[in-house]
Structures are given as structure tokens and as C-alpha cells.
Chain A
């Protein structure tokens, strides 16, 4: 990839984890995209909000519990940002920073419909309304749905 080509990628996660392979596949593509220094946003809507539910224990179904990876996304970026410049060290990330690679957005209505609140989620997210999400989606260069 040529230097300086940064596109705005959005990954729209709409499926519950484990029932299908979509959630895990999305996560893998997100990590690859982030590795190419792209501007990555993650949206969780519909049943996709279940991917972020705390307390997942997959021993019984003999599947890999990939939910801790959502927490690792942040660490991945902080480390990378630290290399980019000390001004953005540690917790200095802001929403408007263009190098803030992992942005997590959740549709508020989808949470409510599932009896969930932000406290049920394993990472900090920005809860947005449908209208706000649509606007954000409109600003992207590439949108991929899983």
C-alpha cells in the first residue's frame, strides 16, 4: 500500500456471536485493516451488540471465546499511537483524532431492545442513535457488513 493512503473503513457488525461465524470473521478483517494503518470504525447494531456482552464463557460449547479481543483493540492502538507521537500517549486519545484507529459505536435502540445497557458491555463504546449512525456511515469510504 502506498504511503499516506488512508481510507475510512467502517465494519458494521449485525450478528450475534457463536451462532454464525460472522462476528469472528469481522474481527479478523478489522485487525488486518488496522495493521495497514487504515482509519477503522466498528459499529455494533441489531444482534451485533451481543458481541460486546460481558461474561461470555464458551467452555461448554467448545468454541474459542473471542470477546477479550474487543478489549485488546484499544491496547493495540495505544501502542501504535505511542510510536506515532508522544502527544497521544496512553489515555490521550480523543474522538476527533484522525489516528484513533478503533472507534466503537453502538446503536442505542438495539441495546434497549435487548434489555442491555452500556454497563453490560465489556468495552467502552460510543452509544449513538440510528440517525447519528446513518450520518457517520455516510461519511465513510468503505463500509463492510458482517
Chain B
């Protein structure tokens, strides 16, 4: 399953909820304000770093660039463009947007 998260990890508990229930082996795509979760040095870094062993984690490149954070993506997180976003949705049998 593909989990799509769009809220900042330091403002909302959306990512935390997602990581708590998602079945290992799935994929997590961080978009909009959730891309901050994938950046080095943020207070929620350990949370996502820990999740990298259980999930494939992606971050949307245009959202990272818009926020000036594209050079701080943590190792192990893959960046995708809008085409990659579509591919991820198509590759998985289902997806959930954690609003």
C-alpha cells in the first residue's frame, strides 16, 4: 500500500499515525509540508530514519525545491517528480492520503 502524507511532522501528528499503523513493506510518499520530515536535522528525523528499515520512503522533489530544502534530504529517501508520483500510485494496489 502507498501512504501519502502531506502535513509537517512538527505541526501535526499525521506522519506519526501513519507510521504507527502502516504494514511494513509498504511505501510512504511525503508531499507538501510533509517533505520537511525527510530533511536532515529536524526534530522528527529519528522517527523517519527508523521507518526507513520498514518502508520505502519517497519525497516529492518540486515540494522540496519550493521550500528550499532540496539539498537537505536525508540518505535513504528517494525523490520523485510528478510523473514518479503517478507511477507510485499506479504500482500499488491501493493508497491512502493521510489528511
Contact = CB atoms under 8 A, between A and B. Distances in A.
Interface of A: 15-20, 46-47, 50, 53-61, 63, 65, 67, 113-116
B68 A57 contact: yes
Q: Top 6 A-B pairs ranked by shortest CB distance? A: A115-B41, A60-B62, A19-B33, A55-B68, A113-B43, A53-B68
B19 interface: no
Contacts of A16: 8, 11, 33, 36, 67
Give the size category of B's interface with A. Answer: 20 to 34
B11 A114 contact: no
Contacts of A115: 39-42, 45, 72
Contact of A114 (B6, B41, B81): B41
Given A18-B67, A19-B6, A61-B66, A113 B42 contact: yes
B73 to A, nearest CB: 12
B65 interface: yes
Interface of B: 6-8, 10-11, 32-33, 36, 39-43, 45, 61-63, 65-72, 81
B28 to A, nearest CB: 17
Contact of B62 (A15, A19, A61): A61
A114 B42 contact: yes
Given A16-B36, A19-B32, A114 B65 contact: no
Given A53-B67, A56-B67, A61-B63, 6 more contacts: A18-B33, A53-B69, A54-B68, A55-B70, A55-B71, A59-B65
Contacts of A65: 66
Contacts of A59: 65
B79 to A, nearest CB: 11
